[in-house]
Amino acid sequence: MSTKPSVYKNASRKEYKLTNEQRNIYRKISQESREAKRRASLGFLSSIHSINTPRLEPNQLMPPLESNGLTTLSLFSGGGGLDLGFDKAGYTHQGAYELIPICGKTLKSNRPNWIVHSGPENGDVSKVVWQDYIIDVIHGGPPCQPFSIAGQQAGQNDDRNMWGEFIRAVNAHRPKSFVAENVLGILNPKFSGFVQKYILDKLPDYHIHIFELNAADFGVPQQRRRVFFVGFRTKAAFKCFQIPKPSHRWKKSPDDLFEDTLAKTMGVREALGLADTGYDALAPTLRSAFTGKRNTTSVLNSSAGQKAWGNLGIWPNGVQANREKASAFPAKYDHFRLSVQDCALLQGFPEYWRFAGAVYQVLGQIGNSVAPPVAYQVAKAVAFALAGKQHHL
């Protein structure tokens, strides 16, 4: 197995394959977008939507907890979704490792006191000789493209598979617990052999829970299902651990027993503070701009996604660097044009978490991240289990 993460090391060598249908969609979108931009620059169009004031406040989904005395080491940190969730849940951050320099910049600018190792020289986990840390929890999202349905699903044979590196760090430090996040594709039966042989069998000292969470069940206005592997060194903590139960629900069914206890997840229009059109829905899963063939300022994932955004009256392409720019660049059909702040909000990031980089890099960090309110719930549940308590919402 090669451990070279080629896709991240050299943007021009991205190996992601698109279907012809996807390629045609993206080509058409970028042609239309170029034309719209040209017309806007010639003054043909005037601002059609005012600057939105969001109604969703992600801080309320993850109120900061007092320090729990536990330390974390973050691998594959990206723009910090997992890191922020653990931070809000009261953990003390001891270090982050991330290959892409701009992600390191995001982490450092938001949390100047964090020790951030980033870039091919300092941030590449495959180059680290682990010996420095005594750590309670290691968390990370090993790159998920090898298992993503959007990709080739080459798994173990994909040179972006970094599970081996995550496991090497866990076995070197023997933390009390670890949390690894991945795409749903990893639970596809075609990877069950991989999961057993290259993950579970390689962590013989850990008792491991594997479960799926949907960000929409925790107040995030997006359909985003992800898999978590949560391991504990002691059986007692493993038994205490409770998979976070939904705190929110998008649509309540009439026979829903939890009807009175669960808060409602806002739809996209409500969350972004857009006018009530009588229709609202969750956002389709936001795409990471890092995983495509080309740099993109679109959050579109599929043709189904295109329809969903269309029904919402929202334009998912040509995302702008801020709300002012978005409001001044009208989209087709009078649709609302997104800014990166809007996309971050739809991923559950609070407004104060600022991403470094150009729009495509920001969308790359957002689309790659664990929604912080989800990370917060997992982090809370781990802390409870390590304290020998069960986690009740």
Ligand X SMILES: C[S@@+](CC[C@H](N)C(=O)[O-])C[C@H]1O[C@@H](n2cnc3c(N)ncnc32)[C@H](O)[C@@H]1O
Q: Which spans of this chain sit near ligand X (rule: CB under 6 A)?
A: 5, 8, 76-82, 97-100, 103, 123-126, 141, 143-144, 162, 368-370
Tell me how far, at minimum, the Cβ of 87 lies from ligand X, in Å.
12
Cβ distance to ligand X smaller for residue 103 or 386? 103
Closest contact distance (angstroms) between CB of 173 and ligand X is 16
Amino acid at site 208: I
Burial of 45 (0-12, 13-18, 19+ CB in 10 A): middle
CB of 147 to ligand X, least distance (A): 11
Q: Output 178 or 315, the one with its CB closest to ligand X.
A: 178
- b/e per residue, 365-387, with b = 16+ CB within 10 A? bbbbbbbbbbbbbbbbbbbbbbe
- Residue closer to ligand X by CB (options 15, 270) is 15
Minimal distance, residue 233 CB to ligand X, in Å = 22
Q: Based on CB atoms, which residue is closest to ligand X, 80 or 246?
A: 80
SS3 228: strand
Which residue spans within the chain are E strands per DSSP?
A: 71-75, 92-98, 116-118, 137-140, 177-183, 207-214, 225-232, 248-249, 263-264, 314-320, 336-339
Tell me if residue 144 is catalytic. yes
Note whether 374 and 215 are within 8 A (CB).
Answer: yes
**Burial class for 282, CB neighbours closer than 10 Å (0-12, 13-18, 19+):** buried
List the catalytic residues. Answer: 144
